[in-house]
Amino acid sequence: MLIKCILIDDENEVIDNADLYYLTSKRVILTPYGEDTLKRFKKGQNIRFQFENKYDKVFDGETAEIANGKIILKNVRDIGSILHRDVRVSVDIPSRISYENDEGYYEIEITVKNISSGGMCFVCKENLNMDITYETVVDWIGIPMIVKIELLRKEYDEQNMDSYGCKFIDLLQEEEFMLRAGVYDIQAKKYKPRRSNVSNEYC
């Protein structure tokens, strides 16, 4: 039985879609959709993959062989329960962050560049105070939701703007689930399979 999956790198960035076929519970065959994907890997290298409609089903395995457009993995293991970072998806979404102090309420225009259920990266023209807790409206999950963000890092962007990495804080379990589901939905649409439909079920 074929399974739709997504190949992701060590930073949980999406590499490509692939078809997966189980030989045994510990050995699988991956057929990437892009021809260049095969050039990224070599024998002995670990590859991480995620079931396309099961965001918590994340696995990795050791490359045993690469031939005829296919990758054979051995020693496959389920790492979904121990994976602390969620898949990040590159986007280009105009948004705003806000904060309030004794002098008033302020909104700052930003452009979100990548998202995960745990945080996001964005660029803006403003020089932001790293010690302030900001709020933003997350409206890419279907139902708009106000979340608090904590800035973690700042880098200079190529387009004369600053790039900021942040994490979502004080989330309820239900809110975290909604964010994760929203990220997966964007991911699934962005990396729509380019081959014929196959089953999403797994053994």
29 domain-assigned:
yes
202 domain-assigned:
no
- DSSP, collapsed to helix, strand or coil, labels residue 36 as helix
Q: What is the pLDDT of residue 96?
A: 94
| Helical (H) or strand (E) element with 186 | helix 173-190
* Structural domain count of the chain: 2
| Helical (H) or strand (E) element with 102 | none
CATH number at 168 reads 2.40.10.220
Q: Are residues 112 and 150 in the same domain?
A: yes
Q: Where in the sequence is the domain holding 75, given as residue range(s)?
A: 2-84
55 domain-assigned:
yes
* The domain boundary residue, chosen from 51, 68, 84: 84
> How confident is the chain (203 residues) per 10-residue block, as mean pLDDT?
83 83 88 90 91 75 93 89 64 93 93 88 92 91 87 83 92 82 70 45 38
Q: Are residues 101 and 55 in the same domain?
A: no
CATH number at 38 reads 2.40.10
Q: What is the pLDDT of residue 91?
A: 87
pTM here? 0.59
CA distance 182 to 188: 10
Q: What is the pLDDT of residue 82?
A: 63
Q: Determine contact, residues 12/85, Cβ cutoff 8 Å.
A: yes
Q: What is the pLDDT of residue 24?
A: 85
42 domain-assigned:
yes
Q: Are residues 53 and 22 in the same domain?
A: yes
Q: What is the pLDDT of residue 197?
A: 43
Q: What is the pLDDT of residue 179?
A: 82
196 domain-assigned:
no
